[in-house]
Amino acid sequence: MLRNGLEPWHLLIVAIMIILLFGSKKLPEAARGLGKSMRILKSEATAMKEDGAAPSTAQTTAAPVAQRTNEGDPVR
């Protein structure tokens, strides 16, 4: 049944359905919105990768602080 997967004529039918549902006037606006969303997503992903190194240094600096607070506790 699905041994051939997605064939080119399947994509053509999907494209025709999208044009019929949204109309030719709304498609350029939707494409611009999708492009903006993709740019925002890409910039946020890049920012998260750059910030990815910060948590590892924060974890190493947070551990001594936790140890210092435990040193002040009375021994039981």
pTM given for the model: 0.44
Query: What's the token pair of residue 17?
Result: 């359905």
Statement: residue 54 has pLDDT above 60: no
Cα–Cα distance, 2 to 76 (Å, whole number) = 69
- Which comes out higher in pLDDT, residue 22 or 43? 43
What are the sequence ranges of the domains in the chain?
Answer: 19-48
Mean pLDDT of the chain: 76
* Pair 22, 14: CB distance under 8 Å: no
| Mean pLDDT within 15-35 | 88
Taking the chain, what is the end-to-end CA distance rounded to the nearest angstrom? 72
